[in-house]
Structures are given as C-alpha cells and as structure tokens.
Amino acid sequence: MSKAVLPKDFLWGFATAAYQIEGAPTADGRGPSIWDTFCAIPGKIADGSSGAVACDSYNRTAEDIALLKETGAKTYRFSISWSRIIPLGGRNDPVNPKGIEFYKKFVDDLLKEGIVPFVTLFHWDLPDELDKRYGGLLNKEEWVADFANYARVMFEALPKVKNWITFNEPWCSSILGYNTGLFAPGHTSDRKKSPIGDSSRECWIVGHNFLIAHGTAVKIYREEFKPKNGGEIGITLNGDAVYPWDQEDPLDVEAAERKLEFSISWFADPIYHGHYPASMVKQLGDRLPTFTKEELDLVVGSNDFYGMNHYTANFIKHKKTPPAEDDYLGNLETLFESKTGENIGPETQSFWLRPNPQGFHNLLVWLSKRYNHPKIYVTENGTSLKGENDLPLEKIVDDEFRAEYFRGYIGALAKAVSEDGVDIRGYMAWSLMDNFEWAEGYETRFGVTFVDYEGGQKRTLKKSAKIIGPLFESIIRKD
C-alpha cells in the first residue's frame, strides 16, 4: 500500500449522525423526533437508553472539531436534526432560528479549520409531529412536500456547504422501521411488537417515497442553489458484500446477486437505470409501487455521486420454498459460513458484522460496473469490537482489531482504484466517537475515540484514530 493511487483532492475523515451524538433534545427549541418517542417505549433499546445525552455534542462542537484536527481529517460527515430546524417538521410550521444558527456556526468553525463539511439532511430522525399528523414516511404527498421545504431551508441557510446527502440508508428506515419494527417508528405485522404495521407492504411504499423525496430535493438544489453555490448532491445507500454459499450452485450465485438487488439496487436502479430490479418486481408484484412519468423524471439521474455505506459480508444460500409475505431479502438466507466451512470473518460486538475486506473490494467493483462508473464517496465504514465495553481504558484505546479493520478496508479501496479503475473520491470512517448505536444503545462502540459517558464525557483517541491519516497520506498523490 505504499503506492500513491488516490487523487490529490481525495477527502478522508469521519462520520456521525445528529441523534447519535448531539443530545440536548429540548435545547433551544428542538422538537421531538420519532427516535425520542421510540426510545421511550420499554424494550425497544437494548440497554433501555436513548440519545437524550449521547456525546453531548450539541454543547461540545469545539471538542469534536479538536478531535478531527488531532486525527488530521480532511472532511467530516454529520447530519442535521430536522426537528432542530423545524420543530414540528411541516412546510407551514415555524422555522427555529436557533437551530439554523447552531449549524451555521458549526459549518463556519469546520471551514475555519480547513475541514470540509459533508452534510446529510436526514439520518432517520423524522420530526415526531409529522408521524402523528399524517403517518410520516408513508404519506407520499405530505411528506415529500415537507421534506422538500426542509431541504430548501437548509440549502438557503448553508451556502458554504458543497457536499450534500439527501438520505442516509433508506433501506434501514424502510425495512427496520416498517417491516421488522426494530427501528423507529417500529411498524411491523408482528402484533407482539407493534399494534400497527403491515410488513408485506409498508416498507416498499416508504422506499418508493424516499426516492421521490430525494429526486425532489435534488431538483430544488440543482435549479435554485447549484448555479450560485456550486456543489454536489447525492444519496447514501447501504449494502453488504455477498458470496454464494455454494459457488458451484447456480441458484446460490443467482441468490447472491438478488441479495444485492433487494438492498442496493432497490434504490440505485431507479436512479441510474429508471426502473426497479426485475427480481424485485417478480417477487413483490403489485406490492412494489410503480413510478409515474413525473416521478421518473425526478428520480432518473438524480445523483451527482454515489454515497456508499459498507461494513460486512455474508454467504448467500437460496431458499427452495416460496418467499414469505414479509420477506425483504429476496427469498434467501444470509450466513457467516460457506458450504465448505469457510468463515466470513471474526466476530464483533454487532451480531450482523464480520470483517471481510475482499468483499468491500468486490462490491466497489460491482457498483462501478452496474452504475456506469459513478463518482463514489464511502460515507461510512467501520467496526465494533467484541466485549469492548467491558475492557479497561488502556485496552479500549489499544484497539488493534479496529485498526486492522481499517488497514484491510482502506487497502481494498486502494486496490479497487488502482487495479479496477473505480472512481472513489472520499472515505469517512464510522465513527468519530463512540455514540448511541440505535437499537443497540450504548452496549456497542464504533468510535475511533473513546467516550466516557459516566465520567464527564471525557474523550480519548484510540489507536485506530491515529493510523487512518498516515495510511491515506501514503496512498494519496501529492501532484
């Protein structure tokens, strides 16, 4: 990895999300989000916690920036809390000037330190009032109009921001929020978990609405703001790498491709190709919404770049039985072991995550080919570490497991650029610091910085924070 293969202006840094780090849920006029409401329901979060304090970043932006400076980061991806900006969320509801001022100052402070802000408009935290008012993400007409208004307010408020992401991982909001019920607002057909929800239909409606809202916001940016501000806008999609469980079985090979289509291509195919994947249409039939001509005009070509979140890989085994009504994977099994007993990678604290750098390389190449070599920003990549919470501080900060993860994944990225010609312009490690990990609460740590939640929020850089900069410096061209 000593060869300089990345472009001179390559952006590397770290990522976070508002609800996971900010805390201060009622400060300066912020309204509740669906995650504030969800966390208050007993049993929804592993340790019964919430993002009410988290890393207290709302009151510690200077400390956050100091961490970024110490690591040498060139960029910082963070998200805006919609309910700080418009506490009730709607297009006819009042805008909160204190919320606007907070993010304005933060952007200015980052730029003053030479750190490029990469801003996500929506990272799962819908204003709760919109969910109560009209069903939130399920209501295409109302929600798209409200999101468009919110997006316009932010484009207007932050003209110095040149890198915008509309949505973070719409797959998670759709499937985990409206199929399994593991994430806010917790809709599912399982009546033991939720009194409301239809897992067979709601997730596909929400996914469709995300695409329309994305296309609408991009049109506003391109027509009203890009001419005077420059800049670019895209969406961030998540997806795991895949290997057939039995490489000799064409049905497993086909299922592996289908897994990618049901996760990534569900959103990327409409944007880059103008239609949903055939495998989804075949399995879901009329449960998958169809695009009107007006909707397609908004969606097709609505990415200036492809935002990629990636963590792990699976072996994929086809199922012989017909798909269940609530199946969202593509009628297949995801496994950590292959037919021959090969393991995908070592265990972590997260049940779903096992490191596999080769899978990252393969997926980068797959994306590049399928979507005609788009400009890619890796907007999240990282790992938890098994039992990290139970270790003494000196062991926590010596996180060789996480450092090795980054070495492997950054090496795979460099190889995809140098050997396969993939156009990668940036990389943001998840996460700048330990934080509220959604349904896993504070039982899981993903940070390159240890946060002592009980001990006055003291932050301590881990080994992994210190190796990323030198790694990139060695592979970014100087000329």
Phi, psi of 75 (to 5 degrees): -145, 155
Q: How confident is the model at residue 184 (pLDDT cuts 50, 70, 90)?
A: very high
Structure confidence by residue, pLDDT tens digits, 363-421: 999 999 999 999 999 999 999 999 999 999 999 999 999 999 999 999 999 999 999 99
- Give pLDDT tens digits for 436-449: 999 999 999 999 99
CATH number, domain containing residue 404: 3.20.20.80
**pLDDT band, residue 1 (cuts 50/70/90):** low
Whether residue 63 lies in the annotated active site: no
| pLDDT the model gives residue 479 | 87
Would residue 6 count as lying in a domain? Answer: no
The residue-averaged pLDDT of 257-282 equals 98
- Domain membership flag for residue 317: yes
- 1 part of a folded domain: no
* pLDDT at 195 exceeding the cut of 80: yes
The mean pLDDT value for 13-29 works out to 98
**Residue 32, in any domain of the structure:** yes
Mean pLDDT across the stretch 187-202?
98
pLDDT at residue 459, rounded to an integer: 97
Selected catalytic residue, list 22, 129, 169, 388: 169
Q: Is residue 325 part of a domain?
A: yes
pLDDT at 2 over 70: no
Residue of 22, 129, 295, 380 marked active site: 380
Average pLDDT over residues 350-361: 98
Q: Which range marks the domain in which residue 212 is found? A: 11-475
Assess if residue 437 is contained within a domain.
Answer: yes
Say what the pTM is.
0.98
Percent of the chain at pLDDT > 90 equals: 99
Q: 38-60 pLDDT, tens per residue?
A: 999 999 999 999 999 999 999 99
Mean predicted confidence (pLDDT) in 111-140: 98
In a domain, 2, yes or no: no
pLDDT digits (tens, 9 = 90+) for 44-101: 999 999 999 999 999 999 999 999 999 999 999 999 999 999 999 999 999 999 999 9
Is 443 marked active-site? no
Q: Is 4 inside a domain boundary? A: no
pLDDT tens, residue by residue, 280-301: 999 999 999 999 999 999 999 9
Q: Domain tally for the chain? A: 1
Of the candidates 168, 153, 69, 71, the one whose C-alpha atom is nearest the C-alpha of residue 118 is: 168
- The string of pLDDT tens digits covering residues 208-252 is 999 999 999 999 999 999 999 999 999 999 999 999 999 999 999
